[in-house]
Every structure is written in C-alpha cells, then in structure tokens.
Chain A
Amino acid sequence: MKMKYIKRVASIVIAGTLIFMSGNMVAAVGTGETPLSDSQLQRIKTNCLDAQSTLSQLHVSDALLRVNRGQLYESIANKLMAPLNSRIVFSGFSAEKLISDTTSYNKHLASFRANYLAYGTAMDDIAKLDCQAQPEQFYRSVADVRHKRNRVYDEVKALKAGVAQYKTDVTDFANDFKATAQ
C-alpha cells in the first residue's frame, strides 16, 4: 500500500516536470514551402559559415540594443508617464487620454519583450545548426529569424509612435490647463 503510494507520487512529480519542460519546447515544421534549387542549396553550403558568423555578431549587437533601448522604453513609462498621470489625477484633473496612451504604450512594451524573446531564442537555435549538412533547414530558419526580427521592429515603431502621441496629448493638456488658469 505504502509502496503503491510512493510510486504514484514519484510518477506524478516526474510527469509534471516533464510536461512543464516540454511546454517550452517548440517544434518547427515547414509545410507547403517552395523547395530550393540545387544552385541555391550549393550557394548556401558555400556561404553558410560566413552567414552564421554574421548572424552571431548581429545577435550580440542586438542583445546590447535590447538591454539599453529596453531600459529607455521602460524608464519612459515608469519614470515619466506614470508619475505625471498620477499627479494629474491626484490634482483633480482628468487624465483619461494620457492614461489611455500609457496603457497602449505598456501593451506595446510587453509585446516588444515577448517578440524579442522569440527572436532571441530563434537566433540561439540557428547558431546550433550544422548549416552545411542541413542547408535547407538553415535557410528556413533564417527566414523565420528575419520574420521575428521584423516583428520586434514593428513594436519598436509602435513604441516610438506611442512616445510621440503621449507628448502631443501632454501638450494639449498643458494648453487646456493654461486656458483654464487664465
């Protein structure tokens, strides 16, 4: 009876750990893609080591960019937008537009983090590929990484637009405040 209980608990713990870890693994399956020509496959095999080196350098420079620019974007939200919004609300004024802008900005910031995570993980995976043995897999992985980097860029553009929009609305608030004060 006791043995049965121990076996049951052990199997539940092991199964739980395996399920948790497998949830983080993603299997990429390419379906319906145009097959590459022999000349292109040969060109990939010839140049892929240089391409992998370029990708590796890009990954390093993008990681630095992510840290430095990520700090800037987060500081704008936490050290400028949020304090002004709360100060306006506590002073008895309406900050609805500014709060809406801040919420939208924070959503794009969360997407930026998530998209960069996907991009960074894909870059880590591509470095482990034997590109000369698997040129077609390498090519598809580069296309995937390109797509993921573009998604990060889309969020960067949205964040920049959010920064500009907030500035516009603060200027409008300041003008209304001035008009009310006079």
Chain B
Amino acid sequence: MRDPDEPAPVAHPLVLRLQRHSFVVMLVASIAIALMLVAVAMSLYASSGAAQLDLSRPGFSAVRSSVDKSDNFDTFPSTGPITEQTLRDFDKLYTAKSKEVDAVDDFGGDVLSDKSLGIDDSQAAASSDATN
C-alpha cells in the first residue's frame, strides 16, 4: 500500500503521448503486426516448397492447362482379405502405374550443359579438337 504522503509516480512522457494518441498507435501497431505476419507467411511459402508447385505464378500460364487434374488413379482398397484374386487385381493396377513411371525420363538429359547453352569455352574446345 502506497504512503499517502508519497508523491504519485509520473509516467514517461512517451507513454503519456502514446496514451493521448491511442487510436493512431493501435492502427500503426495493427499494420506493423500484419506486415510481420505477411513476411512470415511469404517466407514459409518459399521455404516449404509450395512456391515451386504454384503454377499460378506469373510466367507459368503456358503450362497451367497441362496439369493432370483427373482423379482417375484407382486406389487399392486397404480393407478386406488377401486372396489370389486380390493380389492379381493389385498386380494389374500396379503394373499400369509402373509403366507410366517408366514412360518418361523426367529431369534427365543434357539440357543444362555449357555447350547446349552456348556458354562453353569454344576456343579451348576448338584447340583441343585440333590437337586430337
């Protein structure tokens, strides 16, 4: 309990100013918090890999229509007994999908070689060809 003869504590001038303009302080603080949260969200968007899968980004409009949106992947049921017939059914589904896997050599090829991009040292290559 404070002594009645003791002078009342005086608030910091900055605190008094903030109290006088509390509405503006609230607006500024809300905007600052919103900006910080947007920064965190954008950082998560980039770091989680979602950005790489997002074909709605500018520059990817040419391939948006080529995304396979069909839901025709037959799921093998996870309940039920194991019989020769169910194993045959599974083999049929799995063989079809493994053929799809093998049909494309994704991310293969030599498309990023210096020669393909025209940034190799052509003079050095030409002189080594002459030596050979």
Contacts and interface: CB of A to CB of B under 8 A. Distances in A.
Given A79-B76, A84-B76, A170-B94, A65 B118 contact: no
A65 B107 contact: yes
Contacts of A17: 36, 39-40
A60 B63 contact: yes
Contacts of B104: 65, 69
Nearest to A127: B59
Contacts of B84: 174, 177-178, 181
Interface string A158-182: 0110011011001101100110010
Interface in B60-118: 60, 62-63, 66-68, 73-82, 84, 86-87, 90-91, 93-95, 97-98, 100-102, 104, 106-108, 111-114, 116-118
Contact of B63 (A63, A124, A166): A63
A145 B119 contact: no
Nearest to B11: A2
Interface in B18-65: 36, 39-40, 43, 46-47, 49, 51-53, 55, 59-60, 62-63
Interface residues of A, number: 78
Size class of B's contact patch?
35 or more
A60 B60 contact: yes
Given A3-B12, A37-B123, A83-B78, A47 B117 contact: yes
23 contacts: A2-B12, A3-B15, A13-B36, A14-B36, A17-B40, A20-B40, A21-B43, A39-B121, A43-B120, A51-B119, A60-B59, A64-B63, A67-B67, A68-B67, A84-B76, A117-B49, A117-B52, A120-B51, A142-B114, A145-B112, A152-B107, A160-B101, A167-B95
A61 to B, nearest CB: 7
